[in-house]
Amino acid sequence: MLRRRSHARKGVAAAEVAVISAFLLVPLVIGVWEVGRLVQVTQIVSNSARAGARLAAQGTTITSSGSTTQVMISGTAPDVTDTVYQYLIGAGLTNLQASDVTVTFTFLPPNSNGATQPYQGLKGQPFTVQVTIPWNKVRWVNLGIINPTTVTYTAYWQMMVDDTFTVNATLPSW
């Protein structure tokens, strides 16, 4: 009996494993990377919506000069839209322009009272701040594995406006 020598097939199994691993592991790693980026962006958007809701819940705030100013959705500082946008930029989503960010402020029933601006809210009145950004402006790779059109988060909050009060001017001073 003669024994055959199998020197010619020694590295074939290793080569086959390397090729198959490349076709399985590379897409898996890229998919995990894309899902991780989507989770990260979703967390940043949710934090920005909460930052905007915290500002809106105040209704009014005090400026650095000591005067009281009304909180608006957009337009004059301090406003909810600018707060959200600045949070997104500060968190690293620097490809976004202000026009890419959609911020929607809505008072919820039963106490909506036709109010549309945060400064018009009443204490304890529920509202939402919804933030939407386009996914194609913040994704890292464009392989189409994960491809939503937008990333959206809605923060549910309550107005924290102070109760109105009057100061008794007849009190004696010390």
pLDDT tens, residue by residue, 120-146: 988 899 999 999 999 999 988 777 777
Range from 39-43, 67-71, 137-141, 169-173 carrying the lowest mean pLDDT: 169-173
User: Comparing 50 with 144, which gets the higher pLDDT?
Assistant: 50
* pLDDT score of 4: 63
* pLDDT score of 161: 84
- How far is Cα 122 from Cα 70, in angstroms, rounded to an integer? 13
pLDDT > 60? residue 6: no
* pLDDT score of 92: 95
Burial of 133 (0-12, 13-18, 19+ CB in 10 A): buried
* pLDDT score of 114: 81
Average pLDDT rounded to a whole number, residues 23-51? 91
- The residues, any chain, with a CB within 8 Å of residue 156's CB and separated by 6 or more, are 108, 126, 127, 128
User: Comparing 114 with 36, which gets the higher pLDDT?
Assistant: 36
Distances (CA, A) of 40 to 33, 70, 112: 10, 33, 33
Reduced to 3 states (helix: H, G, I; strand: E, B; else coil), residue 132 is strand
* pLDDT score of 1: 62
- DSSP 8-state code for residue 114: T
Structure confidence at residue 95 as a pLDDT band (50, 70, 90): very high
* pLDDT score of 107: 93
* pLDDT score of 15: 84
Reduced to 3 states (helix: H, G, I; strand: E, B; else coil), residue 43 is helix
Question: What is the sign of the dihedral through the CA atoms of 131, 52, 126 and 68?
Answer: negative
User: Comparing 172 with 92, which gets the higher pLDDT?
Assistant: 92
- The residues, any chain, with a CB within 8 Å of residue 146's CB and separated by 6 or more, are 31, 34, 35, 37, 38, 139
* pLDDT score of 5: 60
Average pLDDT rounded to a whole number, residues 21-37? 86
pLDDT > 90? residue 2: no
Q: Which of 35-39, 56-60, 150-154 has the highest mean pLDDT?
A: 150-154
